[in-house]
Structure 1
Amino acid sequence: MIDTVTGPAPLPFAVQLKAMIDVEGRYQPKLGGLRLIESAQDNGLRMTTRLREMEVKDLLSLTRFFGFSSETFSLAISLLDRFLSAMKIQPKHLSCVGLCCFYIAIKSSEEERNVPLANDLIRISQNRFTVSDMMRMEKIIMEKLYWKVKAPTALRFLRLFHRHVQEQLDAESKKILSLERLEAQLKACHCSFVFTKIKPSLLAMALLCFEAQEQHDPEHVDKISEVLKNLQQQLNIKDGDLVCVRELVGKCLDEYATTKCFKPNGQRLRWVISGRTARQLKHSYYKITHLPTIPESAN
């Protein structure tokens, strides 16, 4: 039976926060495994940070192609990083592992009517393995992760923190922090290996602080900063740790904004899909960017 963490319910913020913090560590990738990936040479024989980042970007493109939720993407990355940190896989198996983690996330987060057939998912992602290969790999992944799927991801923390902050602000100050923009920034961070070693709660907090810092409205930003400072104390996050991760967020977003993938050529997809899948897809999905644009600030 799949072990799940109950999603945020209409409970007091402190109760929701404690429930997520208490289990956060159980869903963290293994640091030793991440270090092995980080130190591996890019010779095609071992998993590397570059290969992991390329796979995440492919999953982001698939997420946009199908119109899946941010929850699906974030959960897929959580599953992928946990598995990669626990198992030494060969690069040739990465696409199967990535797609299986994605499919597990889809089945866990999306409505049943929106879940594609495994065969269609394989064709659209242009992979050459079979549905049987996927089924075997999915079983391996679930067993290695002890059937624990619904992790308290950085996205869940981000939404919880954002809602908590907004409740304490006036109407004008609430306009400063756009959840849509914050979620887009988080997706960009997911594409960078450096954030695999950072706790989801700390990453979510750093994103909020970075976004508040980027605004140029002292009156409203001061109010937000005060609320964020109180939240930082509740989370028992050290100033040095928060500053370090906030700087990593800024560097990541700068690199993301200047990458060649940021200005796509709009090339049409040439993927083979079934008639059933084609009828379900919106026309806009036939022309996607490899990496999406982060929305401009409200200001």
Structure 2
Amino acid sequence: MNNYDDIFDTAVPDEQSFDKDAWAERKQAERQAVYDLADATAADVCADGAKFQAYLDTQARFDRYSVTNVLLIMAQMPTATQIKDFDGWKAAGASIKRQQKGFSILEPGNEYRREDGTIGTSYNVKKVFDISQTTARVKIQPAVSTDERTLLKALIYHPPVPIQTVDELLGDAGALYDHEQQVIFVRRGMGAEDIFRSVSMELAHAEIAATDGSYIRDDNAFSAYCVSYLLCKKYGVDVGGYDFSTLPYFFREGDTQFQRAVLTEIRDTAANISARMSRALETRSQQPKEQER
């Protein structure tokens, strides 16, 4: 039998052999460029009300994505609605259109041990494409058939504190989270959308207070306001009354770490409330028809 192993000896010249250090340096530079882009976008977003609202709109569309990835999507493909990597679109039966370039987000990699003994997670740059860059047909999602009562019941599903209705509230507020009494008061007689807007904001206060041992209402008012906006955008409640033209001074002038912490608090709080709503709506959809009367 002939031996052909020798044909591989000269297939790749020695000078083209894999350089692990050079590859690691390229990857690190690629990651750093992505982090720099996210930081620059965050600085723009936190300094301008219109850009901040655009960021919230992007976060509402990609509510399961991290703050950093939403900032990256906003910076590179602000009109994106559905993203996958090359293999993801291939598995979905679609291909990337000619001359379309992917954009970068971050995905979790391996865990590692820091010098102080704590465990961290490394992140890798991942190239993705929006559906508009592919041959996939944009599917018009049918409107979710959720009546107002069902949506409101989902909003208050397993709340972090009890909810109690009252005839009136100070300043004609629609709802109010009382931190001392650990209860949310809701004014009777409001319409469905007013209930959703006001109660979602107070649920946000209660949610934040549950994880903040030094909770102060005024300090968290902006975050709760943004959470309410995100929930309204996701569930189709009118947001015409929300105003981000002037961002709070403490947020606008805060350092990068503080601003990122606020953005993360907004994202995580909205995600927690939305997760409960999704469970409630899913449970509702699985109930036998005869029970829906």
Give the TM-score range, shorter chain: under 0.3
TM-score (norm 1): 0.27
TM-score (norm 2): 0.28
Looking at secondary structure, tell me which structure has more helix per residue.
1
Q: Which has the larger radius of gyration?
A: 2
Instruction: Write 1 or 2 for the structure with the bigger share of strand.
Output: 2
